[in-house]
Amino acid sequence: MRLLYFIAMNCADCTITCQKFGKHRNGLRRFRCPQCGKTYTEEHRRLFAPMIVPEEKALLAIQLLIEGTSIRTVERITELHRDTILRLLVLAGQRSIALMDTQMRGLRCEHIQSDEIWTFVAKKQRHVKADDPAEVGDAWVFVAIDAESKLIPAYTVGKRNRDITYQFLNDLRSRLAEEHRFQLTTDGFHFYRKGVEDVFAGQADFAQIIKIFGDHGQHDAAGRYSPAAMTQTIIKIRDGRPDRRHVSTSFVERQNLTMRMAIRRFTRLTNAFSKKLDNLKAACALHFAYYNFCRIHKSLRVTPAMEAGIADHMWSLRELLA
């Protein structure tokens, strides 16, 4: 029930209290001045303003996107135009980014794992032409996860290069408590080695896991999309004294699977890939915010945000986007 239901509405001309006068067609309460007969409707703050989409239908569309449903399927279920759905996605993504920037501060994660997951925008890298925009082609999502709380404190979307690696590491550092020492495990991506040293300056006990894979040619034509067999794992201690029992990327690699299952545009061998980088960033922001605050983790039986101590209850989608 809205708090405005209990607040008196005064006539602007007569300055007297108006009487209840039914409801507007959108469900808001109406009032009428008993002296001049002028009518008023209670103020309504729309959840998805400035868009005029019905709130419940918009929430349904976003929930379907979160569950890995394609844009066209959401269009058929909700009867909203696909352009409207994409605008809703971008709006929800912007609010998710703002929420993460506000809530993900002063964290005290002990064992962080980092990895990158591949996707592409508009076309795969081998089809990119010289006159295509810079955002077209391969795209990577850098993800960090806390092994204990399963919280995603930071992520970055962009190319797999030095600049994006440093952007990701700086973002991660800004979300951790000052002078908090932690253990970081990454894959063998070479820019991590210098990047962690420059960004964290000895604050992290840092190790890399380098995986050696066999020949892709061992698969026949029917199994050509299967990954090559891993033949060797090498652990490299890069900085500090990391505990070898926690040198692992298992949790973040499992998060990669969660992303491919929950974000439709990460599904391989389909036409659901992102056509714009902004849409990809919005989808990732919405996924991580929902994962942190709204989704019960099956092994924890609470949300990651609750486990990390930054939330005291499971948030609803409406709370997330408010």
Residue 6 has pLDDT above 50, yes or no: no
> Which of 98-112, 156-170, 205-219 shows the lowest mean pLDDT across its residues?
205-219
Q: Which CATH number characterizes residue 33's domain?
A: 2.20.25
Residue-range definition of the domain harbouring residue 12: 3-41
Q: Is residue 303 assigned to a domain?
A: no
Domain assignment of residue 98, yes or no? no
Using 50, 70 and 90 to split pLDDT, how confident is the model at 291? Answer: very high
Total number of domains in the chain = 2
Q: How far apart are CA 46 and CA 286, in angstroms?
A: 19
Phi, psi values for residue 205, rounded to 5°: -85, 110
Given a contact cutoff of 8 angstroms between Cβ atoms, the answer to whether 73 and 267 are in contact is no
Q: Are 12 and 155 within one domain? A: no
pLDDT tens for each residue of 186-200:
999 999 999 999 999
What are the pLDDT digits (tens) for 39-83?
888 776 678 888 888 889 999 999 999 999 999 999 999 999 999
Q: CA 56 to CA 37: how far, in whole Å?
A: 33
At residue 217, φ and ψ (nearest 5 deg) are: -70, -5
pLDDT tens-digit readout, 80-137:
999 999 999 999 999 999 999 999 999 999 999 999 999 999 999 999 999 999 999 9
Q: Is residue 320 part of a domain?
A: no
Q: What is the pLDDT of residues 230-279, one digit of tens each?
A: 888 899 999 999 999 999 999 999 999 999 999 999 998 899 999 999 99
The reply to whether 252 falls in a domain is yes
Kindly report, residue by residue over 14-41, the tens digit of the pLDDT. 888 898 888 877 667 889 999 999 988 8
The residues, ordered by sequence, that sit 6+ positions from 146 with a Cβ below 8 Å of its Cβ are 107, 109, 110, 111, 112, 152, 153, 304, 308
Strand arrangement of the beta sheet that strand 29-32 belongs to: 19-23, 29-32, 39-41
The answer to whether position 102 is within a domain reads no
Q: Does the residue 13 lie in any domain? A: yes
**Quick check: is 238 in a domain?**
yes
> Domain containing 267 — which CATH number?
3.30.420
With the C-alpha atoms ordered 176, 177, 181, 182, is the resulting torsion angle positive or negative? Answer: negative
Q: How many helices (H) and strands (E) does the chain have?
A: 9, 9
Please check whether residues 213 and 121 belong to one and the same domain.
yes
